[in-house]
Amino acid sequence: MNILGIETSCDETAAAVYTTKRGLCSNVLFSQVDEHYRFGGVVPELASRSHIEKIGPIVEEALHKASYTLADMDVVAVTNRPGLPGSLLVGLCYAKALAYAAGKRLIGVNHLEGHIASVYLEHDVPFPHLCLTASGGHTALYRVDGYGIYTVLGQTADDAAGEAFDKVARLLGYGYPGGAQIEALAAQGGFKDYRHYPRMRHRGTSFSFSGIKTAVLYDLVARGYYDMHEKRLSNNTLENTIEVASSLLVAVGDIFIDRLSVALAQSPVRAITFVGGVAANQYLAQRIGALAAQKGCSFFYPSRAYCTDNAAMIAFVGHYKALQGQYDNWLLDLKHR
Ligand code: KG4
Ligand code: ZN
């Protein structure tokens, strides 16, 4: 079974080929990060236009790198939800047209199921396991019982964890995305908790990150490091920036550990996985790994290339759905399933 995977849910135009015989054969991506950098976040209209320009060449490159042609593919698997509607539509319309014209089957893939599966590209993860997905758009905790069989245990009521990093990085004068910058600054602060931002415990297995971003803002304002009228830093020091970044990262780490501990107490599992763009964070991965070891579970997280958005994970989901006979018809839209 040969699968062409396509992903355009946010600001990455991506295509990959996954086959039963060879596994992952290619994984190609164009990141729009430079196009959005100066706006401090993803501009949906720009994202859609960029996807339109890039999708054709990216798909061709993925097939070429895999040493296949479209004729060799059995299925086109495409992210059809959730994400920016304009961006999703580009990938979905392209995939449908391609599959229809070439006589291939079509499979719509949930982007979040893609993230859950991203760790299977490199690791044999035992079921059941807990999966913590944290990215710029999503933060959720799942119990996963098999390929494509999962239950949402909790999600964020407002901002995603990556969004909190991005927003605080922006407050501190850094560009988008800011997660890696926060990690680098926090390392300089020795991953210590200087400012004691709220953990919002007692939320069971659900998350909320907008409060922590506001707490950072008020903390900066109260100490005279941020001018609310001018909406910019004033009299800030690098030392303060380091302390704020370090405290934020420790607080997010505490929140993750707290929610995972609650979930582990509710339903015992054999492993924990940590996926999504935020899983590129070594400090957070290390803390979750320590919790897993303490609870007698194994722990897995993807390589950086599979943490952030990619089409390899979409092709992988397409592959097991094809083996399960879960195909979609030409009415596939952005709400399906
Ligand atoms: O999965 P992803 O590429 O896109 C979404 O689906 O959102 O995740 C991007 C997010 C951004 O918020 C970025 O700041 C965050 O992942 N991120 C990190 C790190 N690297 C990327 N957050 C914390 N530490 C990192 N090292
Ligand atoms: Zn994502």
Q: What is the pLDDT of residues 123-147, one digit of tens each?
A: 999 999 999 999 998 999 999 999 9
Tell me the average pLDDT across 311-326.
98
Give me the residues near ligand 2 (ion), CB cutoff below 5 Å. 135, 309
Predicted TM-score (pTM) of this structure: 0.95
Quote the pLDDT of residue 337: 55
Q: Rounded distance, CA 216 to CA 194, Å?
A: 12
What phi and psi values does residue 99 have, to the nearest 5 degrees?
A: -65, -45
* 3-class secondary structure, 2: strand
Distance CA 139, CA 142 (A): 10
Distance CA 146, CA 120 (A): 11
Which residue, chain included where needed, has tokens 């501190």? 172
The C-alpha atoms of residue 188 and residue 134 are separated, in whole angstroms, by 23
Q: Is 165 in the pocket of ligand 1 (CB under 6 A)?
A: yes
Residue 47 has pLDDT above 90, yes or no: no
Q: Which of 129, 128, 155 is nearest to 141 (CA)?
A: 155
Nearest ligand, measured from the Cα of 135 = 1
- Collapsing DSSP to helix, strand or coil, 151 comes out as strand
pLDDT of 120 over the 70 cut = yes
Q: Which of 38-52, 107-121, 310-324 has the lowest mean pLDDT?
A: 38-52
Q: What percentage of the chain reaches a pLDDT higher than 70?
A: 99
As beta bridge partners, residue 226 has 233
Nearest-10 Cα torsion for 265, 271, 274, 276: -110
pLDDT given at position 336:
66
d(CA 327, CA 324): 9
Pocket test for ligand 1, best of 255, 278, 314 (most atoms within 8 A of CB): 278
177 CA: nearest ligand 1 atom: 14
* Cα 273 from Cα 129, distance rounded (Å): 7
* Separation of CA 130 and ligand 2 centre (Å): 18
pLDDT digits (tens, 9 = 90+) for 164-212: 999 999 999 998 889 999 999 999 999 999 999 999 877 799 999 999 9
What b/e string do you get for 212-226 counting C-beta neighbours within 10 Å, with b at 16 or more? Answer: bbebbeebbeeeebb
Cβ of 310 below 6 Å from ligand 1: no
Rounded average pLDDT over 94-110: 98
Q: For residue 12, which atom of ligand 1 is closest to its CA?
A: 3
Residues 6+ apart with CB under 8 A from 53: none
The answer to whether residues 92 and 331 touch, using CB atoms and an 8 Å cutoff, is: no
Label residue 42 by pLDDT band (50, 70, 90).
confident
Q: What is the Cα 215 distance to its own chain's centre?
A: 24
Q: How far apart are CA 137 and CA 284, in angstroms?
A: 18
